Structure 1
Amino acid sequence: MALSLDTVSPETNPALQRPAAAMPPESRLEMPTQSLRRWSASQERKPVVDRSRLHTRLARLFVFGGGLLLTAFGTYEMYQVVSVSRTTVLQWVLVGLFTVNFSWIAVAFTSALLGFFALLFGRKAPEGLPASLSHRTAVVMPVYNEQTSRTYAALEAIYESVEATGLGSHFDYFILSDTTDPDAWIAEERAFLALRDRLGPDARFYYRHREKNHHRKAGNIADFVKRWGGHYEHMLVLDADSLMTGECIVRLAAAMEADPDAGIIQSLPLIINRNTLFARLQQFAARVTGPVIATGLSVWMGRDGNYWGHNAIIRTAAFAAQGGLPDLKGKPPLGGHILSHDFVEAALLRRAGWDVYMLPDLGGSYEESPPSLIDLSARDRRWCQGNLQHTRVIGAKGLKLPTRQHFATGIMSYLASPFWLFQLIVGIALVLQTTYIRPEYFARDFRLYPVWPRFDPERALTLFAITMGILIAPKVFGLMLMLVRGRDRRASGGSIRLIVSAVIEIVLSALLAPILMLIQSGSVFQIMLGRDTGWQPQRRDDGSIPFRDIVRRHRSHTVLGLLAGISAFLIATSLFLWMSPTILGLLLAIPLSWLSGQLGAGLALKRLGLLRTPEEFEPPPIATRANALQARNASFDFDDRDGLAALYADPVLRTRHADMLPPATARRRGEIDTERALAEAKLSDAETVDDALVWLKPKERMVVMRDAAMLERLVQLKQAGAEVAKAAE
């Protein structure tokens, strides 16, 4: 039944009486834009606590010294492989590419080895909550066209968990919306208002929607800091898929209060709630290998650490003073605003003398992951562009050497794929040259032997085995730790299931690796050609992708695998066998990608107890609560309603929506907003509200929703169809 559209006043309807403001009064902080070209050592603050860094230096010596020794050994062995006879230019290119690629995996190996030893012999951090806190913390969740049933459920579960610690009065909660979809925007407001009505004014929930998502997530956070940051000593930054226990949040706040030099303290989020095959592979790998890698990084990074953009606590005043991001010169993809802002924000705070570090053993921090290979590649494309942008930042004046190494690591994580691809191509070219091209017996300069590239096959096989061993070693380290820890072993299904799960993860990861290599190589090449990725909302739900889209995305990979297989077989059987993992992965690209997003495949392994994590066997209470709240929120149907129709039909919602709008800005003479002009014209022509709902496009709807006068014009239209009545029920 439709709501009456008769005139309603606050006197006749208490629901229209003005509720508490959607945001607290502003308390502004200056956030100057930082320079990448100018910096003086005198600008760096002095630490309050003088700490010894000997432990960190020794750890770095182990990681980078060990990586250098391994690289030297690998390079020597590769030189021995190709130097059976006189070495050709192409063979030297192969040695060079191998050295670059091997150095990358060598440092990753020594870092993981350090993490393995630290976890095996280190002391577990003491648990327990602080008796009290001294400062206030803002828990902020930036959202961008997200599903409200999910995000609001997570935030409400976090709120309940924090309240259960007895220290909830020290935390306020903010939904910071950059949403550009009109229906999603109104769904957020309806979910926010419903949440406030349920929890009451003492819950300290706030909501803000930005008219323009300037600088995207970094700009969203910066806007909050500039306008309301003065209220809070710290802010805890979440992602839309983040979930953190009250104990974890309170302990992070206590750690920040206890450390006057800390600028950012990062937690280690574990992946949970995943059910598709691909997501369960990521979930298992993150649980088994993630702590080994993260602990190794934490030990050698020390207080020169990094920031991953979420599930971390930040000193607000330090962030305001040093975290203002500049735009990079030039146009996207390498110029413009910084996409991977978190690395740069950590670098700028560290440059100014604030410590940035991670607490990898702090439990209770969770996130989710993309449900399929294609979803991962879409997100990875943006990360690729963001990391390659760091080539413009790595040389910034005043940065610490470890910070530059973080940037180099991020850049290399994407350049590694084309490097491996080039190494593969050079290897094929060398075998082709050896097999089909006649040696040059009579060169211009006198030689006793022809120039004919040759290889030492036994040494090559040994080097290949060593390389593979170094690649999978971090996975083996994580598996060993899970096996020796009785509780984790039993919660993962026991020793047999744990080992079988690890083998499944290694095999499928090996098959997916060549596909990801080509995807990342393609991303790098596109960025070098000047193609910008933009910023699309992530698909977070389990679910498959239409098969025709999978075929379209992977048909070139399959064709390339077929050509590579035929060519390798015709050139030499040994080359075909050597390339068989790569060839097989590419040939199976379409079925593997399809299978990766299948819920049934993931659930089948789940029923068999495979790829199971301790958090899946015994779900964290906060995850169970968030799932229940999400199911309840879904029953409200906020995400499935027409936002403009809901505003038309519900005067209470319309009044509260108007209260949350920012003050209107005056239009400059001579400047015509196209969407606004079109919206006004369509409202003028509309005889019924159904006309307006059909004619107004999404951007024009946003204009109407932002303008109280235009909304009033919409309300004056007659109601002709059932669409609005349905939205108002």
Structure 2
Amino acid sequence: MTRTFEPGMPALRPAPMPTQNLRHRPAAHNNLSPRTTRQHLARWVLLGSALALLGLGSYEMYSVLALGGTTPLEYAMLGLFVSTFGWIALAAVSAVFGFVRQCSMLRKPTPHELFRPKGHTAVLIPCYNEDPAHLAAAVEAMVNELTECGAQTWFDWVLLSDTRDPKRVLEEEHAVTLLRQRLGSKARIHYRRRRYNVDRKAGNVAEFCRHWGAHYDYLVVLDADSLMSAYTLTELVYRMEQDPEAGLIQTIPRLINGTSLIARLQQFANRVYGPVVGSGLACWTNPEGNFWGHNAIIRREAFMNAAGLPRLKGKAPFGGTIMSHDFVEAALLRRAGWKVIIADDLPGSYEECPPSILDLAIRDRRWCQGNLQHIKVIGSKGLHWISRMHLLTGIMSYLSSPLWLALILVGITLALQAQYIRPEYFGADFSLFPTWPRQDAPRAVRLFILTMFILFIPKILGSLLFLISSRLRRGAGGFFRLCGSIVSEVLLSAAVAPIMMCIHCGAVASILLGRDSGWNPQRRQDGTLPWLQLIYRHRWHTLAGVLLALIAWSNSLALLAWLSPAILGLILAVPLSALTGSLKIGAWFRKIGILRTPEETKQPRVVDLKDEVLPWYEHQVGATPSLQLQLDSAELVERHLSLTPDPALEEESSPFQANAALARVKLIDADSRQQALEWLNDTELSLILATPTLYRELVALPCRNRGAA
């Protein structure tokens, strides 16, 4: 007798999620409680200080250039300097405010008494060709920690899959079955895989909301590599229920599990400098905060009523699906009168990071396209001006690299002009005295020192916070290891920075040329790549470094010395990429305690729980029966059908049916399952696994060729 399996999803409960019109302000608004005088004062003091700092830097630069009159090239340099200096000035002042706020939060948070929530929460985990063993281990770890404090019944867990790899699909289904068996009544585990990944992650979450969202009051959105402690999960629900005006509460995730050197570098920087930056951002943006797409809780009703994303006019990369959907969703929630809060005081929110420079480049290429799309969104009707600032900050985070590069090139051009082009001492106007081309060299040195100091303020203050806190200092390995870690991070980041600048410049250029980034799954652990691939991927970076060195050397040794950090980083791009992506070197740094974080010294409970169960899941998921074996098992066939939702749910959003039609033709023509599997490509097989009628046709085929003995 065939076993009966629990369906993948709960009963349908449809609800509308209207697409928002960016050209018209919505009719209805919530009226938020007015900000206090103290909140207004903090915001304007911070922004005023940043503007004053920008004014000082701009005046100093103008004074440097205007000593002997100002040329068009010098005006260009002044404009580029102002456009880049403004953002580092804002970051520096924000870091000062964040440092003060972090100093007041050095004591561990006092847990609230466990309460009984009125609402029910779904934890959504969108995934795309991810490792199912890690996903399952993470969910079990979070459920088990919630069970320890008696809050496991507050949450349903929903894996929203857009996986295209048929092998991964079978592994996901096996992992979900294992999770349900192990957790039993402790947790409700749901699973749904779409036939077509329309609108990517944002479309996946939106489709869940339209069909099943009405079952829930709140949505916690996690990434495939996210973890959250029980304290953080329950505290998010608590804060959402205590503040009926809150539409979204965003935590500041800490990076963990870094294995390669570049991952450890990001992890250390995020942990040491990230808190002062995050708290500074919270100081002047709350309750007009931002959303980073994961590790946040959302009021489901507000999200569905106010944050349905439109498609942008035109083709990709600037049109079509909004890729960096999170910034836009936060802006739309705030437009509709909901608070968007950055909870900078909440620990226990974790994620992982890319393991190599090239993996960073792949991720940043996608993020760059998404942020540049916001050029079409920033002028939308009714947005709060702080929401526009978030969008502008995202745009400038990628445009700043071409601006910095242009600033360097203009500076080099000025130096070459001074050496090779004969100056015009007497202009068109009659004068008895010549105009000498001059610049204020001492003032230029002072301006350089000021710029470097402002650029490094977040690092200085983050390091100071760790140095004055005995708990944080011990967590980073003690005073001497912490100092060694800071020096290592500064030197390695300085070496990698010119490579990333060129990568971002290339991404911006690619987007301006009309090239779409696509949607590729991320690597999570191993960042090693063959040397030939590294040479190919970094060939232009190395060439740019050589050319920059030759140009500087042809001018003067002084210019070569000034540009040496950028030149060395670019020339050594290939070995740096290999070094920073190496697991062995990352393990050596961990062994000697450099770039250590408090989460490494004392691992969070939820991470311990994941590490305990991960080997078991890796073994079990690794032994997932092949598709041929599953087709021979009536029980496994039934399990698969129970986890496959009705394809009619996606009919409205399905872009085309050509692949499904071709797959059916191949099934009709095939003499056996083996022949059908040989004919079908991965795209067609993925569609068959997501379409019950086609899957049943595949199951119905004989195991051997017709007419075979």
TM-score tier by shorter-chain length is over 0.9
Q: CA offsets per residue over residues 50-70 of structure 1, 9 Å max, x none?
A: 353322222222221111111
2:552 aligns with 568
Q: Secondary structure at the match of 1:205?
A: strand
| Offset at residue 452 of structure 1 (A) | 5.8
Query: TM-score scaled to structure 2, two decimals?
Result: 0.95
| Offset at residue 165 of structure 1 (A) | 1.6
Aligned: 1:39 with 2:32: no
Q: Which amino acid aligns with 1:396?
A: S
| Offset at residue 139 of structure 1 (A) | 0.9
Aligned: 1:213 with 2:219: no
Distance 2:11 2:669 in 1: 40
Aligned: 1:172 with 2:142: no
Match of 1:109 among 85, 92, 95: 92
Distance 2:530 2:187 in 1: 42
Query: TM-score scaled to structure 1, two decimals?
Result: 0.93
Mapping for residues 331-410 of structure 1, pairs under 5 Å: 331-410=315-394
2:5 aligns with 19
Match of 1:100 among 83, 100, 116: 83
2:116 aligns with 132
Distance 1:52 1:331 in 2: 41
1:9 aligns with none
1:79 aligns with 62
Q: CA offsets per residue over residues 645-668 of structure 1, 9 Å max, x none?
A: 243133212112122333355999
Distance 1:36 1:210 in 2: 28
Q: Secondary structure at the match of 1:21?
A: coil
Q: Secondary structure at the match of 2:538?
A: helix
Mapping for residues 623-702 of structure 1, pairs under 5 Å: 623-638=607-622, 642=626, 644-663=627-646, 665=648, 673-702=657-686
Q: Secondary structure at the match of 1:603?
A: helix
8 Å contact 2:111–2:231 — kept in the other structure?
no
Distance 1:681 1:561 in 2: 55
Q: CA offsets per residue over residues 264-305 of structure 1, 9 Å max, x none?
A: 011111001111000000000000001000011111112111
| Offset at residue 684 of structure 1 (A) | 4.3
Mapping for residues 139-150 of structure 1, pairs under 5 Å: 139-150=123-134
More divergent stretch after superposition (598-607 vs 59-68): 59-68
Distance 2:464 2:54 in 1: 25
| Offset at residue 637 of structure 1 (A) | 3.5
Distance 2:301 2:144 in 1: 27
Q: Which amino acid aligns with 1:29?
A: A
Q: Which amino acid aligns with 1:520?
A: H
1:473 aligns with 457
Q: Which amino acid aligns with 2:31?
A: K
8 Å contact 2:129–2:163 — kept in the other structure?
yes
Mapping for residues 420-439 of structure 1, pairs under 5 Å: 420-439=404-423
Q: Which amino acid aligns with 2:45?
A: F
Distance 2:600 2:211 in 1: 40
| Offset at residue 683 of structure 1 (A) | 3.4
8 Å contact 1:274–1:542 — kept in the other structure?
no
8 Å contact 1:648–1:654 — kept in the other structure?
yes
Q: Secondary structure at the match of 1:631?
A: helix
Q: Secondary structure at the match of 1:179?
A: coil
| Offset at residue 707 of structure 1 (A) | 3.7
Mapping for residues 449-464 of structure 1, pairs under 5 Å: 453-464=437-448
| Offset at residue 387 of structure 1 (A) | 0.8
8 Å contact 2:398–2:504 — kept in the other structure?
yes
| Offset at residue 442 of structure 1 (A) | 4.6
| Offset at residue 123 of structure 1 (A) | 7.5
Aligned: 1:224 with 2:208: yes
Q: Secondary structure at the match of 1:200?
A: helix
Gaps of 5+ in 2: none
Q: Which amino acid aligns with 2:311?
A: D
Distance 1:630 1:598 in 2: 23
Distance change in 2, residues 1:449/1:612 (3 Å): farther
Q: Which amino acid aligns with 1:87?
A: T
Distance 1:694 1:122 in 2: 61
Q: CA offsets per residue over residues 536-557 of structure 1, 9 Å max, x none?
A: 1111122312222211111111
Aligned: 1:277 with 2:277: no
| Offset at residue 720 of structure 1 (A) | 6.5
| Offset at residue 318 of structure 1 (A) | 0.6
8 Å contact 1:176–1:209 — kept in the other structure?
yes
8 Å contact 1:675–1:699 — kept in the other structure?
yes
Aligned: 1:197 with 2:181: yes
More divergent stretch after superposition (674-683 vs 368-377): 674-683
Aligned: 1:153 with 2:147: no
8 Å contact 1:25–1:228 — kept in the other structure?
yes
More divergent stretch after superposition (165-174 vs 413-422): 165-174
Q: Which amino acid aligns with 2:641?
A: A
1:579 aligns with 563
Distance change in 2, residues 1:639/1:364 (3 Å): farther
Distance change in 2, residues 1:470/1:590 (3 Å): same
Distance 1:717 1:231 in 2: 39
8 Å contact 1:264–1:315 — kept in the other structure?
yes
8 Å contact 2:529–2:578 — kept in the other structure?
yes
| Offset at residue 479 of structure 1 (A) | 0.7
Q: Which amino acid aligns with 1:73?
A: L
Distance 2:105 2:295 in 1: 24
Q: CA offsets per residue over residues 113-150 of structure 1, 9 Å max, x none?
A: 11011112457553234332222111111111111011
Distance 1:177 1:331 in 2: 26
1:506 aligns with 490
Gaps of 5+ in 1: 1-11, 722-729
Q: Secondary structure at the match of 2:276?
A: helix
Q: Which amino acid aligns with 2:63?
A: Q
8 Å contact 2:499–2:569 — kept in the other structure?
yes
Q: Which amino acid aligns with 1:381?
A: R
8 Å contact 1:29–1:317 — kept in the other structure?
no
Q: Secondary structure at the match of 1:635?
A: helix
1:497 aligns with 481
8 Å contact 1:190–1:638 — kept in the other structure?
no
Q: Secondary structure at the match of 1:539?
A: coil
Q: Secondary structure at the match of 2:247?
A: strand
Q: Which amino acid aligns with 1:312?
A: A
Aligned: 1:120 with 2:103: yes
| Offset at residue 460 of structure 1 (A) | 1.4
Q: CA offsets per residue over residues 433-486 of structure 1, 9 Å max, x none?
A: 001101124543334555664322222122111111111111110111101110
Q: Secondary structure at the match of 1:23?
A: coil
Distance 2:382 2:69 in 1: 46
Distance 1:25 1:59 in 2: 48
More divergent stretch after superposition (193-202 vs 440-449): 440-449
2:593 aligns with 609
- Equivalent pairs, count: 701
Distance 2:498 2:99 in 1: 27
| Offset at residue 338 of structure 1 (A) | 0.5
| Offset at residue 262 of structure 1 (A) | 0.4
Q: CA offsets per residue over residues 617-665 of structure 1, 9 Å max, x none?
A: 11112112212322111101448764x3243133212112122333355
1:539 aligns with 523
Q: Which amino acid aligns with 1:27?
A: R
Mapping for residues 550-569 of structure 1, pairs under 5 Å: 550-569=534-553
Q: CA offsets per residue over residues 656-683 of structure 1, 9 Å max, x none?
A: 2122333355999xx9944334434433
More divergent stretch after superposition (353-362 vs 682-691): 682-691
| Offset at residue 197 of structure 1 (A) | 2.1
Distance change in 2, residues 1:262/1:677 (3 Å): closer
